[in-house]
Structure 1
């Protein structure tokens, strides 16, 4: 009996201990600080994305973040990854986000979850599933569309089922969950955000601290009761200025930079983006000195394998597959100079008894591959299966295709003279053939919509192959259907004829589809798949050198490595060693361009090389802007204060083309000009959509040292700017940029945002602003 009492007593003590432990597991946004189990807690978070890291490397990347000095891992969940077909969810294998969170806990770290439904992340459609676009009148991120809300609710409930048990209050390690993502850039509908908050609570996240993130320029556009507020900003930011307005409106709130941008993402045809270590480190130190929590976006970017890289608009700018991001941990999981600088800095800010562990051993070494010569080729035109018919062209989504490429085929009548082929809208890159002969390409980045069709003695076969890049992941252009959007015409003089009765062929990205093709020898021209194999005695990480190839995708042992494009800046593709086999390995490459002797070599480090094209500069050599006959609508001087500056006209003015002329800088010794964002205000005082905007002229742009071209003034990204050429002592005021808005607008004024980092270079003081219906006089 005595022994029974003892055992019973021990059980009771254990039960009470468990009850007490549960009661202590709390995390809240307290007064001026976050509190973990009732004590102040400064979040040092690292953003990682599980689908951008091979599952075999998950734990290594988590351990690398801890060795950098982080105590928390921040993650998105990606709706379109987990529900690639409506109503069919996949949270297994590479998609097992719960396993990823458990690995974070195993390594003694907390977790912040950002389930969306929208996430941005330079990810296809910002994480929203492509099948939403099958509904012709779909609206997203709004209560106005019941289908969107029903679908988003079902997805968030599924995320809750996977992760809610891992809240810290339930004994897990999830300390915060985000409501939506950067909604202030999209709109100001507090009711929508409140509804998303309620859905997340109902999904099972009923105890955890909720929060939202926005920018310092728009966080106050709406309110969500019971949800903490945080800010996002980039390397080199002035921390005091970023939080100045926030602290005024939220005097008792803890401060957190929920996305401190360690670098930036690369876009096809633009320079490789980097951010200096000292610039980045200075603002991080400022946050630590002021006890401001942060999350490094990205700590390790990884790779947007397969079709998952997105795009920005306006203007349309697709993102490369590498998501290296110039992050502290590079694409292959290796520490960089930035990593060691952060690790060294954070040693000075650890809590009592806290230590930073040593770096983990690498899970895979780097190897070299033998040169791979391709001997098998499957021409696209020889692999046309199961054609569909339609009177007018339809987009991919109409044919239940999510990603890849789509061929539109038609017969055109004979004509003894040249005609013009006109397509309303191509998403994203079309190659055009007549009787299997290449005629040209249409690139969405340049708004190309027409090309010449030569005379034909007989009826001819017209093929339009549309190769897709990422769906827009940011802003109102996110409704981004792929293929041909609209009608196709042939015109000759004043005569225009619409083409009807199309045959459609679909080419998805699934690995199985690429293997189930008719491969032959290397003869024949045109878009094709190339297949080969290679043997290895050992496996390891490697970069494939894609120089010499055109535009397409690569599959190795069934794994889709992503997209390549000869224009750069990335000329290599990361191949994880865990996806290779000792012995036989298979590689398949699809390329819209032709190769007679296709080969691939490997390299040990990534290759960055830009091939200059029409997207680089908005001024032809020798061009000059003549404003002698133009009359400014207004002129004046901007103050030196930071933040948005608004100029209202005395009366509304109609116009399609505007010119901002910078006459001087806030720094007297500075002859440069820079602008972060510019908005044109309509008659109602609201910003006019910039989706149709195009830069007509910019007197100077920095496109080599950084991607600071003039179109950055309307790309909705505050941390990237238009900047006149760095170090150009000959460039003097005035500096000018001319924009075509695509249509006439009634304008009441404009708003301009100076650069938001610590630099004062180029911030405009004196200016003139022009607006007119006719084009400005640009002379050669």
Structure 2
């Protein structure tokens, strides 16, 4: 018996020695896998956006597409929802996901952040960091770096032994993520590199990714440099500068964008399969590695969808991304076109595996949710606060928050001013709704009727996703500054609040006083019902009867819905359903048309309704530049890439106008991908407070070529004048309110990245002034 433990130890040692260990290296103009040249063909998949029961199905679909690697982010806030409480179990078992990838003969690229973007809540950073009001995110703030190191060490415990050198399948690990879009801070990047190494990732190449326009800002000599770009990009141009600096480095596009993500209120995004295949072929013919972002997007279940910056623009629950593998794992026409390309680039003697069968879909007949729990009748115990504070300072991360106080009597006209409400706000007086304010539209004031003494003011604020890009990651929720009443020339801040926290937890939604109701309530409420199935399968919950809120089925948080679209259904994985009775709870923040729902066999991802339009010109409105004098007149060079313009003088301005007069292609269109204004020091000024005041024309029907794309920090998106319904003639004008007074000495201009396309501006004029331009 004494020999038994020794025998076990010997067996374990023998088994571990049987594990095949390998190498992955950066060599002369190529990667080497076990000493042989290797082109990475990676499929970006995000494990939180795929039900665990379907992980293997999506991995098999990626393998059958022709991919040899899976690329994945690791989401800090998903694994540490509360400070110091880590979770890597079940749906969050990243080691199990990587082992499934290895089971199917594929490799893994890990991108552990700490920041990941990914259109994910706060870019993957945990909300509780914002409880420290003076926190410096993505900088060498002592607290931030301490928590980053602790989290990265936990990732190391999960995945360090999965490196290829230890018999696993991890071949590369990324350091931070697209930092050039945030700032320039090489010491910070070096510190994150060291944290990643100290966590155990020191046996495979470490790399950093950025755009070709900013990768030099933070490039470290001991890291591999990769470039991100999307369909339509000129491949040679994207890598030209990198090859000048490192002529012998292997080239890799670490994010080749197959499509794009959807915003609430805007058109569903698509990208052509032809452009995707053309770009992939161009890279493969040059032995350039790539990761297809996304190969399968999936779903930002629950509250995990983020928001874009600048100009708060929340993303939809669906992360379909117009990817080759659709949201529910369905095989799309784009998939077949990519597969037909990749089958020509397989190692000698290999063939593609069969495409896995699709998950069956089912139709669920319409049924009613007959039990209702009005929100105001089911409030939790309040907290007291003398002043307004954001949600985080009441120890709440997600959901809604209700602020309540009493008002003094007044017969005069008054205005309620709310600064700033994040993100969707309803205002009530004595239980009656008097206004709805949307952060998307910058709404922040309400006219008040005459008030009686002690009138009850309720401000209900729903938090949508925190911004996941740029400086927007500092995105406190609820009311973040103050509430005031303005009367005549006097403004008074309101004090003495009761605060009610309304989280998005299933148990919070379930444990309410539900009662049978024959009609819908006109205020926020929880609705509960059930439906019976004799077989299970994927379905799409049709939310067209509902206004705005969140859904739970059998305890699973399915996601947010909003009537403005473009998404009108919610993906309901069949693996989360069961034969027999199923429970559904819907938190409706406003009021439904009727409390009825059904399950469809196909999604509705491209229907806009109501007040969701993003147009930046009112009907009949025109910009009048008759009496304005340009501060600069010039001609842009033909071709792609950034162009730098200096005025030769300093202009005081709060409003910037660029007027396009002609195009290089002789067409009537104008397009701009990005604009940067230069301050007195010759460096770009902050675009954080910019707002589009006027655009004479925007394409809103065929694509999201909206005017705010010129400062969305995304080089692959662009403003383009309308081409689907009208073709307005030159000139074309765009006016931007800078949000603050600036001294401007010039600007940087980036045309759309695709070659030989419309809208390439030639002649132009620039106007700048302190007072607003006249609109008539």
Same fold flag (TM > 0.5): yes
- 1:513 maps to what in 2? 508
1:31 matched to 2:28: yes
- 1:623 maps to what in 2? 621
1:476 matched to 2:471: yes
- 2:300 maps to what in 1? 304
After TM superposition, give the deviation of residue 21 of structure 1 in Å: 5.5
- 2:662 maps to what in 1? 664
- Deviation string 1:181-207 (CA, Å, 9 cap, x unpaired) is 001111121111111111111101110
Contact 1:374 1:597 (8 Å CA) reproduced: no
- 1:575 maps to what in 2? 572
1:760 matched to 2:751: no
CA distance in 2, matches of 1:613, 1:439: 18
- 1:654 maps to what in 2? 652
Aligned to 1:711, which of 708, 717, 724?
708
Q: 1:465 to 1:16 in 2, by over 3 A?
A: closer
- 2:377 maps to what in 1? 382
- 2:4 maps to what in 1? none
After TM superposition, give the deviation of residue 339 of structure 1 in Å: 0.4
1:546 matched to 2:547: no
CA distance in 2, matches of 1:17, 1:466: 55
1:454 matched to 2:449: yes
Aligned to 2:348, which of 330, 348, 352?
352
Contiguous gaps of at least 5 residues in structure 1: 1-10
CA distance in 2, matches of 1:665, 1:217: 24
CA distance in 2, matches of 1:429, 1:20: 54
1:393 matched to 2:388: yes
CA distance in 2, matches of 1:227, 1:374: 56
After TM superposition, give the deviation of residue 456 of structure 1 in Å: 2.5
CA distance in 1, matches of 2:602, 2:380: 40
After TM superposition, give the deviation of residue 369 of structure 1 in Å: 1.1
Tell me whether 345-354 or 47-56 shows the greater mean CA deviation: 345-354
Tell me whether 61-70 or 281-290 shows the greater mean CA deviation: 281-290
Matched position secondary structure for 2:564: coil
CA distance in 2, matches of 1:749, 1:273: 33
CA distance in 2, matches of 1:548, 1:223: 51
Contact 1:305 1:561 (8 Å CA) reproduced: yes
- 2:7 maps to what in 1? none
After TM superposition, give the deviation of residue 370 of structure 1 in Å: 2.6
Q: 1:221 to 1:666 in 2, by over 3 A?
A: same
Q: 1:252 to 1:87 in 2, by over 3 A?
A: same
1:683 matched to 2:680: yes
- 1:227 maps to what in 2? 223
Matched position secondary structure for 1:618: coil
CA distance in 2, matches of 1:306, 1:614: 22
1:556 matched to 2:553: yes
Matched position secondary structure for 1:683: coil
1:438 matched to 2:455: no
CA distance in 1, matches of 2:63, 2:309: 35
1:526 matched to 2:523: yes
Contact 1:379 1:525 (8 Å CA) reproduced: no
Contact 2:368 2:595 (8 Å CA) reproduced: yes
1:403 matched to 2:398: yes
1:64-79 matched pairs, under 5 angstroms: 64-79=61-76
Tell me whether 494-503 or 303-312 shows the greater mean CA deviation: 494-503
1:588 matched to 2:585: yes
Divergent runs of 4+, >3 A? 14-22, 727-730
Matched position secondary structure for 2:247: coil
Aligned to 1:315, which of 307, 311, 314?
311
After TM superposition, give the deviation of residue 565 of structure 1 in Å: 0.2
CA distance in 1, matches of 2:554, 2:712: 38
- Deviation string 1:237-276 (CA, Å, 9 cap, x unpaired) is 1111111222112211111111010000000000000011
Contiguous gaps of at least 5 residues in structure 2: 1-9
Contact 1:659 1:770 (8 Å CA) reproduced: yes
CA distance in 1, matches of 2:542, 2:548: 13
Q: 1:526 to 1:17 in 2, by over 3 A?
A: closer
CA distance in 2, matches of 1:19, 1:93: 28
CA distance in 1, matches of 2:406, 2:583: 38
- 1:8 maps to what in 2? none
Contact 1:446 1:615 (8 Å CA) reproduced: no
After TM superposition, give the deviation of residue 217 of structure 1 in Å: 1.0
- Deviation string 1:195-231 (CA, Å, 9 cap, x unpaired) is 1111111101110111111111111112213210111
After TM superposition, give the deviation of residue 615 of structure 1 in Å: 4.2
Aligned to 1:80, which of 66, 73, 77?
77
- 1:6 maps to what in 2? none
CA distance in 2, matches of 1:433, 1:181: 42
Tell me whether 184-193 or 331-340 shows the greater mean CA deviation: 184-193
After TM superposition, give the deviation of residue 525 of structure 1 in Å: 3.0
Structure 1 length normalisation: TM-score? 0.96
- 1:131 maps to what in 2? 128
CA distance in 2, matches of 1:732, 1:501: 56
After TM superposition, give the deviation of residue 15 of structure 1 in Å: 8.4
Aligned to 1:48, which of 45, 48, 64?
45
> CA-atom RMSD, angstroms?
1.6
Tell me whether 728-737 or 267-276 shows the greater mean CA deviation: 728-737
CA distance in 2, matches of 1:376, 1:542: 23
Contact 2:564 2:612 (8 Å CA) reproduced: no
After TM superposition, give the deviation of residue 602 of structure 1 in Å: 1.6
After TM superposition, give the deviation of residue 350 of structure 1 in Å: 1.2
Contact 2:567 2:607 (8 Å CA) reproduced: yes
Structure 2 length normalisation: TM-score? 0.96
CA distance in 1, matches of 2:533, 2:753: 50
CA distance in 1, matches of 2:691, 2:229: 26
Count of aligned residue pairs for this structure pair: 762
Tell me whether 638-647 or 310-319 shows the greater mean CA deviation: 638-647
1:251 matched to 2:243: no
- 1:499 maps to what in 2? 494
- Deviation string 1:114-153 (CA, Å, 9 cap, x unpaired) is 000000000000000000000000111111x100000001
CA distance in 2, matches of 1:20, 1:400: 46
Aligned to 1:169, which of 141, 165, 169?
165
1:149 matched to 2:145: yes
CA distance in 2, matches of 1:327, 1:285: 17
